[in-house]
């Protein structure tokens, strides 16, 4: 057990398909390769980061997911070990029932702080806890933000991602004002930049103009090998170094900000 509390980082935006899962998986991978103990918590009922990191069929995790951890009051019994440094609390479709259960059967004093509470028993076991979130400002997302020390805002270079950012930042401000005053925005990562499209570049520039203080310098481009990480995974992936090229720059900037 370490002497320091894990740094908890949420990767979020309520717009779907901005690269949250890809980014949280890659970030956890980099941190674990650097010999940090990392726990990834899947707060999305799609279970994509579970799939990406464990390469197991979703059936494998039946009744062994973060939802059961909420019922139990601790994640301890629901940690899957990918290797010594990288662990995952998985999710499956049933996580969609979390909101209902939080307001009926479960007895958390504050429904927004339930995730924080169930992570507490393992907080000294890890250097980092990375939380992947669903594409909505629902209970799993709010719980992730309220449990975190840092959030990374993700936005693909498109209009609907651009318009989602201020509303996501409002959610962060709500958490800061009500339950989590130390929460910090680590940065806004612009993703899926399609260099052939002028409108894509326009949104990259617009985000820089609106949020100059938080934009990461690196902009992640649309690239087939990054997309194929969803199929090939991060281990035994022949094109991994090409896929991770741009993300290496992001990781470097991120380490300077944490």
- What is the binding site for Mg ion (CB under 5 A)? 20-21, 48
Which residues inside 173-212 make contact with ligand ATP, applying CB under 6 A? Answer: 191-192
Query: Smaller CB distance to Mg ion: residue 17 or 73?
Result: 17
Q: How far is residue 220's CA from residue 73's CA, in Å, rounded to a whole number?
A: 37
Q: Does 48 bind ligand ATP (CB under 6 A)?
A: yes
Q: Does 140 bind ligand ATP (CB under 6 A)?
A: no
Nearest to 199 by CA among 156, 135, 228, 231: 156
Query: Smaller CB distance to ligand ATP: residue 191 or 200?
Result: 191
Q: Does 82 bind ligand ATP (CB under 6 A)?
A: no
Per-residue burial over 117-136, b if 16 or more Cβ lie within 10 Å, else e, is bbbeebbeebbbbbbbbbbe
Q: How far is residue 190's CA from residue 203's CA, in Å, rounded to a whole number?
A: 9
How far apart are CB 228 and Mg ion at their closest, in Å? 16
Q: What sections of the chain are H helices per DSSP?
A: 20-33, 48-54, 66-72, 98-102, 114-119, 139-147, 159-178, 198-210, 224-227, 229-232, 240-257
Q: Does 42 bind ligand ATP (CB under 6 A)?
A: no
How far apart are CB 44 and ligand ATP at their closest, in Å? 5
How far apart are CB 173 and ligand ATP at their closest, in Å? 22
Q: Does 65 bind ligand ATP (CB under 6 A)?
A: no
Q: Does 223 bind ligand ATP (CB under 6 A)?
A: yes
| Binding test (CB under 6 A) with ligand ATP, winner from 35, 227, 241, 255 | 227
Identify what 192 binds: Mg ion, ligand ATP, none; CB under 5 to 8 Å per kind. Answer: ligand ATP
Calculate the CA dihedral of residues 244, 245, 247, 248 and round it to 10 degrees. Answer: 110
Q: Does 249 bind ligand ATP (CB under 6 A)?
A: no
Q: How far is residue 162's CA from residue 103's CA, in Å, rounded to a whole number?
A: 32
Six token digits for residue 56: 């197991």
| Binding test (CB under 6 A) with ligand ATP, winner from 6, 8, 10, 21 | 21
- DSSP-derived secondary structure letter, 222: P
Q: Does 47 bind ligand ATP (CB under 6 A)?
A: no
Six token digits for residue 225: 């090998």
Count of helices and strands (H, E) across the chain: 11, 8
Q: Does 234 bind ligand ATP (CB under 6 A)?
A: no
Query: Smaller CB distance to Mg ion: residue 20 or 87?
Result: 20
Pairing outcome for strands 150-156 and 38-42: unpaired
Chain positions contacting ligand ATP, by CB under 6 A: 16-22, 44, 46, 48, 135, 191-192, 220, 222-223, 226-227, 230
């Amino acid at each position: 057990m370490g002497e320091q509390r894990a740094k908890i980082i949420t990767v979020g935006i309520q717009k779907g398909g901005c690269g949250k899962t890809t980014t949280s998986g890659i970030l956890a991978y980099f941190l674990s390769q650097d010999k940090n103990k990392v726990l990834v918590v899947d707060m999305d009922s799609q279970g994509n980061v579970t799939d990406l990191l464990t390469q197991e069929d979703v059936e494998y995790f039946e009744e062994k997911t973060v939802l059961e951890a909420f019922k139990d009051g601790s994640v301890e019994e629901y940690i899957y070990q990918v290797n010594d440094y990288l662990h995952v609390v998985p999710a499956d479709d049933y996580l969609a029932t979390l909101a209902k259960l939080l307001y009926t059967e479960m007895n958390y004093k504050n429904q927004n702080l339930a995730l924080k509470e169930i992570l507490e028993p393992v907080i000294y076991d890890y250097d980092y806890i990375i939380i992947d979130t669903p594409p909505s400002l629902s209970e799993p997302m709010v719980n992730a933000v309220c449990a975190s020390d840092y959030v990374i805002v993700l936005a693909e270079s498109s209009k609907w991602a651009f318009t989602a950012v201020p509303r996501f930042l409002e959610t962060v401000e709500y958490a800061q004002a009500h339950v989590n005053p130390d929460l910090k925005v680590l940065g806004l990562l612009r993703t899926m930049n399609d260099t052939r499209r002028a409108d894509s570049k326009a949104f990259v520039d617009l985000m820089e103009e609106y949020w100059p203080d938080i934009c990461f310098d690196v902009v992640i481009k649309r690239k087939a090998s990054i997309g194929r990480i969803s199929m090939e995974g991060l281990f035994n992936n022949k094109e991994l170094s090409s896929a991770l090229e741009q993300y290496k720059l992001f990781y470097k900037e991120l380490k300077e900000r944490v």
